[in-house]
Chain A
Amino acid sequence: MSILYFEEIEEGDEITPIDMPLSKDQVRRYAKTANMYVPRFTDDEGAKAEGLPGMIAPGVMSMGLLARMISDWNQAATIKRIGTTFRSPVLPDRDIHLRGAVTQKNETDHTVECDLWMENDDGERWVIGTATVTVPTKA
């Protein structure tokens, strides 16, 4: 648990990374709660029938995981805007790496701009994005 104030954040700061295995069960659990319980997100055979290499994670799940990285990094941060581009299918049953960095601080409204991405073990960026995050000030 950590709380970071605007004054403690610098441009170029790394957002605390998350390395995690993404299991098929976690994808199914997400698909179920997110009303996306369809074959491409739940079983390999069904996904293959749709021309995919196997079951994939919903794009919005990747977006949710990147948002979680921000809230784990700074529990006092509020996401105002997050945008993500789904560049390649996210295949579960392997490790994923969530990464981010602060690219800009806006003194006028105490927001910070961040770059975000999810990569695989080979450093391929499956999902990329940006976010604008409001952080509290000490003053």
Chain B
Amino acid sequence: MALEFDKSLIGQVFDETDFPPVTKEEILEFAAALGETNPLYTDEVAASEGLHKGLVAPPTFVTKLRAKKFTPENLPKFGKVGFDGGRDLEVLAPVRPGDTLTMLSTIHEIYEKTGRTGSMYFIVIRNEVKNQKGEQVAVIDHRIMQR
């Protein structure tokens, strides 16, 4: 059975957030919190000779960016409880100290799955991250489950 909702929600940009410049300290702290040992993320001097010719953030760093609006106001509620279902992250360019990132958020997909315990609804929010040069840095699809 097809889900009833306003189809024009799909693909609509509902948030654009600009972030303050990424700092070296914040990259090092993020890497340390995950226990990273790769000098690309932990050692400025060694990283300057490495793959990216300088310190870069671990690939999942962009998941810490918080949009001003997490979902659009007019998003219909399909279930009573929401869960974080997962993330799909596409990494397109490294994040470096001094980068100013911008994130655009759209509703990418809404679908229903029926399992043993009844119906589950999935809302996929797509967050596209760009840097100050206009380069695409990452695409993060966030699957929210409702039941």
Query: Using a CB–CB distance below 8 Å, which chain A residues touch chain B?
Result: 1, 20, 26, 29-30, 32-36, 58-61, 63-65, 67-68, 71-72, 75-76, 78-86, 129
* Closest residue of B by beta carbon distance from A36: B64
Selected from A33, A58, A72, the residue in CB contact (under 8 A) with B30 is A33
Provide the bound-state CA to CA distance between A26 and B102, in Å: 28
Provide the bound-state CA to CA distance between A20 and B35, in Å: 10
Contact with A along B79-112 (1 / 0, CB 8 A): 0000111111111000000000000000000000
User: Inter-chain contact count A-B, CB under 8 Å?
Assistant: 94
Contact with A along B46-65 (1 / 0, CB 8 A): 00000100000011100111
| Closest chain B CB from A104 CB (angstroms) | 18
Q: Does more than half of chain B's interface fall in helix, strand or loop, or is it mixed?
A: mixed
Provide the bound-state CA to CA distance between A81 and B66, in Å: 20
Q: Does more than half of chain A's interface fall in helix, strand or loop, or is it mixed?
A: mixed
Given A63-B60, A79-B59, CB of A84 within 8 Å of CB of B87: yes
Query: Using a CB–CB distance below 8 Å, which chain B residues touch chain A?
Result: 26, 29-30, 32-41, 51, 58-60, 63-66, 83-91, 143
